[in-house]
Amino acid sequence: MHALVTSPPGGWLNTRITEIELREGRPTDVLVQIHAVGLNPADNFQIEGKYPGGPKPPFIPGRDACGVVIRGDGDGKWKPGDSVVVLQSSTTDLINGTLCEKQWVAAENLARKPDAWTEAEAAAAPLVFQTSWKALFDVGGLKPGQSVVITGASGGVGLAAVQLANSAGAIVVALSRSEAKRSRLQQIGAHHVFAPDDPHLKEKICDAVKSKGVSLVVENVGGPSLSTSVHLLGVHGRVSVVGILGGVEGTIPIPALMFKRASIHGVLVTDDTPQQAQAAWEQIVTLMSRTQSRPVFDQVFPLKEAAAAFKKLNENVFGKVLIALAQPVDARRMMGSG
């Protein structure tokens, strides 16, 4: 079968599409024909050897996927023909990733594809929705009627957070550097949108949410954005720290933290056991169906254009970048299909 393989010593120079033998699965594994894979910045970090605790080459990158069961598990939970989503959890097999035509996946790491979603939408969801769910509700404690600011809102995690927070009845404030993306964010559920460098950001947000500060910030950007996020909080507000796209270090305004009795929490999606991941996924699908929302993806590339797809991750995306391993995943959005 064809697979994207990173060989020793790793890096993009040693990553190519190649023909390999399919390994043998365990009795608790399910053989899945992979149809579409959602790319994440973490996949790129793994290929480049920059992911803490990441796999050592050789390995097949890729974590998220949607596909169809070819061979079920010993317990009979999964049967040939079942349409499935590969979920994230601490047991995800990082050496045997999803960027290949077929893969054995532990039965406990599979969920049924929601009927209302296309395969492309389902492949776009697992890691970013599970991360957002954790940042908003598990770590963030967000309740209906409370307000949340989402930084880097046009990315995979950000869009998922906008959709989930909206479905949960929160007041959603989305930050994006692009005016065009701010307008699209309003269409998918943000109640208020602002540029992160607006000189009157705090006054405008407080005015919009009719409060002296927000209940929660989902911090996808990190770096200098962290300090602003603490300033945006109301009393007992929280920051859920998810990402580091804007930098790995930030400053904390200690008086603001202290006087607001505020708190800053790290979020790590791979913390979950498969059972926790399944429970979160059920709530995600329920929340999304409440508003008939569907995961957002930007573009679909064929496997042979994997390098271009990863390059696209760092460009002007709105939603997920996908790789299709079977047709039709969403032919209208396929590169080169006109």
**Contact residues for ligand NAP, defined by CB under 6 A:** 40-42, 127-128, 131, 152, 154-158, 176-178, 181, 220-221, 242-246, 267-269, 313, 317
Distance of CA 154 to the CA centre of its chain: 12
The terminus-to-terminus CA distance of the chain in angstroms comes to 27
Write down the least CB distance from residue 244 to ligand NAP, Å: 5
User: Cα-flanking dihedrals φ and ψ of residue 258, to 5°?
Assistant: -70, -50
Angle 97-101-105 from CA coordinates, rounded to 5°: 45
Write down the least CB distance from residue 221 to ligand NAP, Å: 4
Q: Which is nearer to ligand NAP, 61 or 155 (CB)?
A: 155
Q: How many CA atoms lie within 13 A of 109 on its CB side?
A: 28
| CA separation for the pair 225, 150 (Å, rounded) | 11
Write down the least CB distance from residue 134 to ligand NAP, Å: 7
Write down the least CB distance from residue 132 to ligand NAP, Å: 9
Q: Which is nearer to ligand NAP, 100 or 124 (CB)?
A: 124
Write down the least CB distance from residue 101 to ligand NAP, Å: 25
Write down the least CB distance from residue 201 to ligand NAP, Å: 13
Q: Which is nearer to ligand NAP, 154 or 167 (CB)?
A: 154
Q: Which of 242, 191, 189, 237 is nearest to 216 (CA)?
A: 237
| CA separation for the pair 190, 152 (Å, rounded) | 13
Distance of CA 58 to the CA centre of its chain: 25
Q: Which is nearer to ligand NAP, 25 or 41 (CB)?
A: 41
| CA separation for the pair 104, 187 (Å, rounded) | 38
* Inter-residue contact 216 to 241 (CB < 8 Å): no
Question: Looking at beta carbons, which residue is closest to ligand NAP?
Answer: 155
Size of the chain, expressed as the number of residues it contains: 338
Q: Which is nearer to ligand NAP, 103 or 240 (CB)?
A: 240
Contacts of 307 (CB under 8 A, 6+ apart): 12, 15
Q: Which is nearer to ligand NAP, 31 or 125 (CB)?
A: 125
Q: Which of 176, 138, 188, 147 is nearest to 294 (CA)?
A: 188
Q: Which is nearer to ligand NAP, 77 or 177 (CB)?
A: 177
| CA separation for the pair 142, 135 (Å, rounded) | 9
* Inter-residue contact 55 to 128 (CB < 8 Å): no
Using alpha carbons, list the distances in angstroms from residue 317 to 114, 124, 333. 24, 13, 14
Sign of the dihedral through C-alpha 23, 324, 299, 86 = negative
Q: Which is nearer to ligand NAP, 177 or 212 (CB)?
A: 177
Q: Which is nearer to ligand NAP, 31 or 135 (CB)?
A: 135
